[in-house]
């Protein structure tokens, strides 16, 4: 079961704030100087400002996430810890995610965190299509509005007998890397086949950079605007688990 941390944080801030306020307005005035504060009041006063600051930072400025799958390889690897800008696409209320202030719209090439349709888990993919765009993905080739997206082969791995290829892809003014499996059966590509798909207003077409190993808009459709969480902009740490040490060798901006 996924833990709804934003909801838990909001509840903790509310409860600790109410306890601290009630004590200040009512209970504290009834205690004399020799009486100690109840433990609940003491903890509430101590934790409320810290929890409030964390809530503001996570909800409106920057939120950390960990990459759990390889769908964004080679851009993001399993174990990467990333930072997500929460105000790039507008200010939203925590938990309910209602937008209260418009700022910018997603652009093609952005790496974005969101909730897929009918899902309550966070996903991270790249914005490929904007509202009104026509998307085609045929035989492992991506087309946006009838134009093939520019890509250049960078490497075949492993050497000698390629199992996958690394490409440098350019969509609008964003250059990034993608990975494609080298397959000998065209029937596999049919599983990710998209032809003449026009994106509805208020929706975005998302794809993983690991093109043959990503559950994305080719599977569950475009993402509605209200499901957007924020734009991923930096890797700050890589840590695969307790069997390894954290590393900062991958720290840097996300392209």
Instruction: Kindly list the catalytic residues.
Output: 71, 125
DSSP 90-142: -EE-TTT--EEE------TT-EEEE--TT--S-EEEEEEE-TT-EEEEETTEE
Whether the bond between 158 and the residue before it is cis, its omega within 30 degrees of 0, is yes
Question: Is 114 within 8 Å of 122 (Cβ atoms)?
Answer: yes
Q: What is the SS3 assignment for 147? A: strand
The whole-angstrom separation of Cα 143 and Cα 135 is 6
Structure tokens at 251: 């720290």
Q: Give every CB contact of residue 97 below 8 A, 6+ residues apart in sequence.
A: 226, 227, 229
Residue with the two structure tokens 């009104």: 132
252 DSSP assignment: E
């Amino acid at each position: 079961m996924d833990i709804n941390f934003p909801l838990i944080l909001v509840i903790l801030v509310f409860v600790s704030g109410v306890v601290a306020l009630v004590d200040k307005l009512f209970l504290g005035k009834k205690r004399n100087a020799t009486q100690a504060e109840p433990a609940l009041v003491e903890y509430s006063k101590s934790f409320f400002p810290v929890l409030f600051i964390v809530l503001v930072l996570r909800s409106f400025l920057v939120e950390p996430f960990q990459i759990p799958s390889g769908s964004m390889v080679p851009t993001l690897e399993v174990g990467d810890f990333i930072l997500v800008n929460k105000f790039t696409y507008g200010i939203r209320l925590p938990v309910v995610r209602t937008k209260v202030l418009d700022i910018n719209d997603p652009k093609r090439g952005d790496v974005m965190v969101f909730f897929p349709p009918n899902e309550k888990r966070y996903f991270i993919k790249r914005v490929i299509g904007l509202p009104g765009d026509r998307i085609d993905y045929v035989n492992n080739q991506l087309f946006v509005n009838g134009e093939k997206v520019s890509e250049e082969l960078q490497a075949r791995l492993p050497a000698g007998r390629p199992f996958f290829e690394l490409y440098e892809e350019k969509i609008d003014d964003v250059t990034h890397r993608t990975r494609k499996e080298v397959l000998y059966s065209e029937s596999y590509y049919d599983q990710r086949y998209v032809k003449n798909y026009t994106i509805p207003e208020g929706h975005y077409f998302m794809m993983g950079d690991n093109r043959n190993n990503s559950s994305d808009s080719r599977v569950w459709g475009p993402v509605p605007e209200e499901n957007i969480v924020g734009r991923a902009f930096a890797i700050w740490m890589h840590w695969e688990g307790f069997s390894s040490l954290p590393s900062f060798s991958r720290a840097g901006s996300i392209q």
